């Protein structure tokens, strides 16, 4: 999609920056000093269980609520509200006027960001057609399925062609087909030059989409960096099946090596695969299968945020 020309947009290396954001609600500290830097043009994920502080952080970044302390900038603006015309925001709480048609809902949301209604309707028609919803353009929102209505609200979020798109739990409540469509839309907007920030408690979405992530736990950043860096917190896992039950080769296996269904499972030793292979061959292990698996983002999340946070994420996903 062609992006709307903005009047002298501020060129920035980081679309969003935050330093030591704190938010207290009375005696409760919801966010306890979060610092983030979101490079322009990237897909950036905030991962964490419900109640970790993701939504509060996004609202502070966008200027919807003010932090108790700390600073933030959005698209080069020290006051996030000044960047509002260049930002698209899909809140966790969805809401559309049920009597409004899909076309008018998208055009209305564009008008709130300065797009003339006539132009908004033209863009709405194009967006709805692009997402196989042309036949529903003039039907009221109340007649649409939940997935369709959520797609309409998402299209209204991007109709003004923002430079920054912020999505709070965008996959919540969508079936697998609509989740796939949303992932495709996110990728397409990023290719078009937008910066995408989305929060999620479903690690698989972040693993497929994100270039960088922040893992939020108990109102703090437990990790910030690339997905590869997160995986790099753990060593690769070796799964080994041998013909011999015992022998000198056993000395090459770490003490924590475990048997799982006829396989030896253990972390790859610090020396790498070559010394391990040499010891197995010379020790007469009789290698039948040997696989070295890179840990996934879920494993990294557990190592970084703790098992309790991972369990909470899993429960939220299943709900």
Chain segment 103-149, per-residue pLDDT in tens: 999 999 999 999 999 999 999 999 999 988 999 999 999 999 888 88
Does 150 score more than 80 pLDDT?
A: yes
Residue written as token pair 């009047």: 7
Residue 311 has pLDDT above 90, yes or no: no
Residue 282 has pLDDT above 90, yes or no: yes
In whole angstroms, give the CA distance from residue 130 to residue 317.
Answer: 29
Residues in the chain: 319
Q: pLDDT-based confidence at 4, cuts 50/70/90?
A: very low
Phi then psi for residue 257, to 5 deg, are -60, 135
Strand partners, 221: 216
pLDDT given at position 314? 56
Asked whether residue 279 carries a pLDDT value surpassing 60, the answer given is yes
Model confidence at 33: pLDDT above 90: yes
Q: What whole-number percentage of the chain has pLDDT above 70?
A: 93
Tokens of 125: 């028609």
* Per-residue pLDDT at 120: 96
Question: Backbone phi, then psi, for 7, in 5-degree steps?
Answer: -75, 105
Stretch 34-54: mean pLDDT, rounded? 92
Tens-digit pLDDT profile for residues 160-202: 999 999 999 998 878 888 888 889 999 999 999 999 999 988 8
Are the beta carbons of 56 and 65 closer than 8 angstroms?
yes
What pLDDT shows up at residue 3? 47
Query: pLDDT tens for residues 189-235?
Result: 999 999 999 998 888 889 999 999 999 988 899 999 998 889 888 88
Domain parsing of the chain, residue ranges: 14-231, 237-293
As assigned by CATH, the class of the 14-231 domain is alpha beta
Q: pLDDT of 244-271, one tens digit each?
A: 999 999 999 998 999 998 999 999 988 8
If you average pLDDT over residues 90-113, what whole number do you get?
91
pTM, rounded to two decimals? 0.81
User: What is the rounded average pLDDT of the residues 62-72?
Assistant: 95
Q: How high is the mean pLDDT of the chain?
A: 89
Q: Do residues 16 and 197 make contact, with C-beta atoms less than 8 angstroms apart?
A: yes
Residue 315 pLDDT greater than 80, yes or no: no
pLDDT range class, residue 309, cuts 50, 70, 90 = low
Residue 312 confidence class, pLDDT cut points 50, 70, 90: low
């Amino acid at each position: 999609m062609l992006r709307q020309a903005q009047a002298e947009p501020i060129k920035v290396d980081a679309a969003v920056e935050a330093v030591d954001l704190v938010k207290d609600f009375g005696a409760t500290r919801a966010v306890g000093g979060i610092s983030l830097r979101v490079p322009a043009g990237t897909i950036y994920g905030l991962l964490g269980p419900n109640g970790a502080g993701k939504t509060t952080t996004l609202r502070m970044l966008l200027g919807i609520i003010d932090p108790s302390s700390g600073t933030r900038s959005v698209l080069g603006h020290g006051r996030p509200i000044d960047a509002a015309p260049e930002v698209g925001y899909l809140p966790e709480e969805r809401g559309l006027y049920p009597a409004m048609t899909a076309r008018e809902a998208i055009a209305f949301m564009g008008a709130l960001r300065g797009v003339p209604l006539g132009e908004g309707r033209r863009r709405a028609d194009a967006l709805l057609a692009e997402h196989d919803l042309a036949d529903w353009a003039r039907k009221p929102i109340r007649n649409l399925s939940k997935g369709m209505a959520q797609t309409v609200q998402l299209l209204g979020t991007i109709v003004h062609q923002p430079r920054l798109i912020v999505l709070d739990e965008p996959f919540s409540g969508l079936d697998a087909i609509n989740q796939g469509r949303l992932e495709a839309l996110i990728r397409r907007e990023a290719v078009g030059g937008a910066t995408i920030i989305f929060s999620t408690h479903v690690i698989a979405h972040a693993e497929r989409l994100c270039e960088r992530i922040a893992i939020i736990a108990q109102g703090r950043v437990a990790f910030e960096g690339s997905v590869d860096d997160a995986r790099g917190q753990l060593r690769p896992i070796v799964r080994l099946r041998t013909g011999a039950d015992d022998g000198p080769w056993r000395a090459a296996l770490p003490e924590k090596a475990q048997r799982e269904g006829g396989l030896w499972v253990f972390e790859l030793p610090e020396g790498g695969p070559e010394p391990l292979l040499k010891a197995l061959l010379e020790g007469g292990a009789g290698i039948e299968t040997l696989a070295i698996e890179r840990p996934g983002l879920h494993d990294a999340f557990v190592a970084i945020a703790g098992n309790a946070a991972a369990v909470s994420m899993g429960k939220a996903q299943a709900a």
